[in-house]
Amino acid sequence: MKQVLFFFIGSFLCLNLTIGQQNSVEIRHSFPAASIQIVEARTMGGGITVTGSAESQATVEVRVSGNNRLSENRIREILEEKYQIDVRVENGKLIAAARVRENINIGNQDGLSISFTINVPRNVNSDLQTMGGGIGISNLSGGTQNFQTMGGGLSVENVSGNITGRTMGGGISLGNSQGNINLQTNGGGVSAQNSGGTITLRTLGGGLTLNNLNGTIEANTNGGGITANDIQGSLNTRTLGGGVTINRLSGNVDASTLGGAMSVEVLSANEFVRVSGTNGNVTLILPANQGYNLNVRSSNRITTSRLQNFNGDANERNINGTVGNGGTAVEVQAQNVNLNFR
């Protein structure tokens, strides 16, 4: 079954149109939810939000905003003359697209922000792109979600499946999600919590805050600090310009910084613990009831607390040997190292 609804500005009065807040126009579309398997949304000056629900009707709310100097009537005129909005369902795909009409130039006073708020079944796939706003997805399960923006943040909440998101100019928020997750930003901080799976997080310009994650986690930044709490599994994290604090980790850890101090607390170590603070100090806390293969190097001084059942060589700058019968590989390198067992 093919269901198509085109929205052209010339037929403006045929749609259910309401005037929203000042300097904006809102249009609402609805479709049978059961027919939708994919969401494809494109806009150039606004945000996109996709939310999964159990409602029988899928909805698309279009919000058109202008600058503070434009009246609502003028927004309508510009929309009719220079833009085209296309909202339809075709062959299981919900399409929401906003574009400038062909051979039309947009001046500084004619630029409009066109945002989509989309409610669909939880098990859809999505492909979302915007040039000038944020993207948020929530309450989706089991599908593939791809989204990118040139100028806003990314928000992922209660989503499972394959998740890939990119932004050139905003922060990232991840919560209560599971699956194969890859999120990257060139210009903001990253916050992730209560999530699991294979998670890759990257930022070129902000800090990383990680809380209650499990699985295989890779989190890197070029320009900020790293804080991680209650991690289970394997954590690989690096920063070029800040400190690193890791609390209550269970599993493997490979952490490094070129520009700050490090504090790493391991509750339960598996195969390896690697900590490198090239230009700073490192404090590493390990559980005392395990065996280790230690390779600890300092350019200045190593201090230890409760180092027992050690076999090998130890001095102020190097510790190389085993604790107990050996076990977890521990590699530490820093200016000063404080190695504690408890």
Q: Give residues with Cβ within 8 angstroms of 111, minimum separation 6.
A: 45, 66, 67
Q: What angle do CA 260, 265, 268 make, to 5 degrees?
A: 145
**How far is residue 43's CA from residue 247's CA, in Å, rounded to a whole number?**
41
Residue 162 lies in a domain: no
How far is residue 315 CA from its own chain's centroid? 44
Contact 152, 171 (CB under 8 A): no
On whether residue 42 sits in a domain, the answer given is: yes
What separation in angstroms does the CA of 230 have from each of 24, 52, 78?
44, 29, 52
Q: Which whole number is the average pLDDT over 3-23? A: 40
Q: How confident is the model at residue 109 (pLDDT cuts 50, 70, 90)?
A: confident
Rounded distance between C-alpha atoms, residue 166 and residue 222, angstroms: 16
> pLDDT of 25-73, one tens digit each?
999 999 999 999 999 999 988 999 999 999 999 999 999 998 777 889 9
Q: Looking at this protein, which amino acid is placed at residue 169?
A: G
- The one-letter code for the residue type at 281 is N
309, with CB counted inside 10 A (0-12, 13-18, 19+), is: exposed
User: What does the pLDDT average to over 109-114?
Assistant: 88
Distance, CA of 47 to CA of 159 (rounded, Å): 19
Q: How many domains does the chain have?
A: 1
Residue with tokens 């600890």: 296
CB within 8 Å of 301: residues ≥ 6 apart: 316, 317, 336, 337
pLDDT, tens digit, 9 for 90 and up, residues 184-242: 999 899 999 999 999 999 999 899 999 999 999 999 999 899 999 999 999 999 999 89
Cβ atoms of 296 and 330 closer than 8 Å: yes
Q: Is residue 219 part of a domain?
A: no
On average, the pLDDT of the chain sits at: 92
The yes-or-no verdict on residue 249 having pLDDT over 90 is: yes
- Which is higher by pLDDT, 331 or 24? 331
- Give the residue with greater pLDDT, 159 vs 14: 159
pLDDT of residue 7: 39
What token pair was written down for 268?
């339960």
Going by the DSSP 8-state scheme, the letter that residue 301 receives in this structure is E
Q: Is position 108 within any domain?
A: yes
Residue 3 predicted with pLDDT over 70: no
Is residue 86 assigned to a domain?
A: yes
| Measured distance CA(182)–CA(291) in Å, rounded | 35
Determine the structural domain holding residue 119 and report its residue range: 1-133
Using CA atoms of 242, 210, 120, 64 in order, give the dihedral in degrees to the nearest 10.
-30
Q: Using pLDDT thresholds of 50, 70 and 90, give the confidence band for residue 277.
A: very high
Separation between Cα atoms, residue 271 and residue 328, nearest integer Å: 5
Q: Which of 228, 224, 209, 297 is nearest to 259 (CA)?
A: 224
| 112: in domain | yes
Question: Within a domain: residue 19?
Answer: yes
Q: Which of the residue ranges 101-115, 159-173, 188-202 would you say has the lowest mean pLDDT? A: 101-115
In a domain, 251, yes or no: no
| Number of Cβ within a 10 Å radius of residue 137 | 25
